[in-house]
Chain A
């Protein structure tokens, strides 16, 4: 027996109303009723973080929120940050630092990073590493993701110019920093 209730959730500032079952998750609502397929479903059980959204200002795994709990409330997905300077900087940093390979963890990872930097303006690299420990990545090994976040954190806290760890390489750099060895031809 399906017991449907209509709920209105503000997704990226727009009210979206749809009937849902009591046990339907916010993730299901976002993907299936609000057309917000930028919120990914990797496991549907809270173990991977790909469904992370900003809910009431906090990063949450949307598969662990009942849609009805979000009634009348604000949810922001990765598409809800147009014009937001911190998010745009983070996105640009991710893109430039090679923090995006397959990209499936990226929307969730960006939201977690955004919320973290907002609450922690001057984090250490280890604190950044811990902040993303609920978001799995299977492609990058996490290093370039942490580089990308750290770069923005340092810029914001004016700790001085970002010094890449020995093996990070920025566009335009001609010389490798000692980690590249050219052996004369074959």
Chain B
């Protein structure tokens, strides 16, 4: 049956101590919107649940110089309530508004969503386009900062070591970028992404810089580097769009699963990408 333990650390240091002590079985529990279903389904049988939901060190949304900083246990609803996020990170705000459903948003956290490492992670896609940096901490490795683009290593896998916690995320607000976000699910709420896309572009006479992130279309959430490079300096016209979308499709590798076939996901990616570029450059 299930072998579980619960610990409530008084502060971040104690949380890290517990995680070190029980490395391998330790799970940081905040919103529990993935942990509890996994326990219930039998996916998680052995765990030491370290309750981080009240740790002040992991809370808060703030701005420091050019960077916006998000505590890892910031809930999705807190993102939606934040003026900073709404005004300065609209692509993240948009993704938050499509996340799960309003009740789950009261509990699910940004850090939890990233740490779970799902290729369909809804928070990863806007944060990748924002080139977020993840700040990690553990007893063994101390504090380290990893760019989100290097954080995911495979389906359900991240660079997190067994006793490491996400403390916060930071990213620059990009006021001169135009953004687009789209999530495609099988229904309009409580839907796991079948495909998701975020595009940010800085536009002059041509595309000065483009950032493209995709979710649920590869073993991890990805940035489409080649496509971004290709679009740099180009003017948006149908030939460019065609070539860009072909390149984009070569940078993803969707699977067929219970929600959609590979073929359909490729179609979705193409449609969503077209729409994104048209909207951004119009």
Instruction: Pick out which of these stretches binds chain A: B103-111, B153-161, B164-172.
Output: B103-111
Contact of A23 among B2, B103, B104 (CB under 8 A): B2
Alpha-carbon gap, A49 to B102, bound state (A): 11
Residues A3 and B4 in contact, CB atoms below 8 Å apart = yes
Query: Interface size (A, Cβ < 8 Å)?
Result: 32
Q: Which of B1-58 contact A (CB under 8 A)?
A: 2-6, 8, 29, 31-33, 36-37, 39-41, 47, 49, 51, 53
Residues B51 and A134 in contact, CB atoms below 8 Å apart = no
Residues A3 and B5 in contact, CB atoms below 8 Å apart = yes
B146 located at the interface, meaning its Cβ lies under 8 Å from any Cβ of chain A in the complex:
no
Residues B32 and A69 in contact, CB atoms below 8 Å apart = yes
Q: Which of A23, A60, A134 has the most B CB atoms < 10 Å from its CB?
A: A23
Residues B37 and A59 in contact, CB atoms below 8 Å apart = no
Alpha-carbon gap, A133 to B105, bound state (A): 12
Residues B36 and A66 in contact, CB atoms below 8 Å apart = yes
Q: Which of B3, B36, B190 has the most A CB atoms < 10 Å from its CB?
A: B36
B100 located at the interface, meaning its Cβ lies under 8 Å from any Cβ of chain A in the complex:
yes
B253 located at the interface, meaning its Cβ lies under 8 Å from any Cβ of chain A in the complex:
no
Given contacts A44-B40, A130-B102, contact A68 B8 (CB under 8 A): yes
Residues A134 and B36 in contact, CB atoms below 8 Å apart = no
- Residues of chain A contacted by B29 (CB below 8 angstroms): 66, 69
B188 located at the interface, meaning its Cβ lies under 8 Å from any Cβ of chain A in the complex:
yes
Residues A59 and B188 in contact, CB atoms below 8 Å apart = no
- Residues of chain A contacted by B5 (CB below 8 angstroms): 3, 22
Residues A60 and B47 in contact, CB atoms below 8 Å apart = no
Residues A65 and B190 in contact, CB atoms below 8 Å apart = no
B101 located at the interface, meaning its Cβ lies under 8 Å from any Cβ of chain A in the complex:
yes
Residues A46 and B102 in contact, CB atoms below 8 Å apart = no
A33 located at the interface, meaning its Cβ lies under 8 Å from any Cβ of chain B in the complex:
no
Residues B103 and A134 in contact, CB atoms below 8 Å apart = yes
Alpha-carbon gap, A69 to B41, bound state (A): 20
Residues A69 and B53 in contact, CB atoms below 8 Å apart = yes
Residues B107 and A60 in contact, CB atoms below 8 Å apart = yes
Alpha-carbon gap, A23 to B101, bound state (A): 23
Residues B100 and A134 in contact, CB atoms below 8 Å apart = yes
State how many angstroms separate the Cβ of A59 from the closest Cβ of chain B.
5
Alpha-carbon gap, A148 to B188, bound state (A): 22
A137 located at the interface, meaning its Cβ lies under 8 Å from any Cβ of chain B in the complex:
no
**A interface with B by C-beta (< 8 Å):** 1, 3, 5, 21-23, 25, 44-47, 49, 52, 58-61, 63-66, 68-69, 71, 112, 116, 130-135
Instruction: Return 19 A-B CB contacts under 8 Å, by A number.
Output: A3-B4, A3-B6, A22-B49, A23-B6, A44-B40, A46-B33, A52-B103, A58-B77, A58-B106, A59-B106, A64-B32, A64-B36, A64-B107, A65-B32, A66-B49, A68-B6, A68-B8, A69-B29, A134-B100
**B interface with A by C-beta (< 8 Å):** 2-6, 8, 29, 31-33, 36-37, 39-41, 47, 49, 51, 53, 77, 100-104, 106-107, 188-190
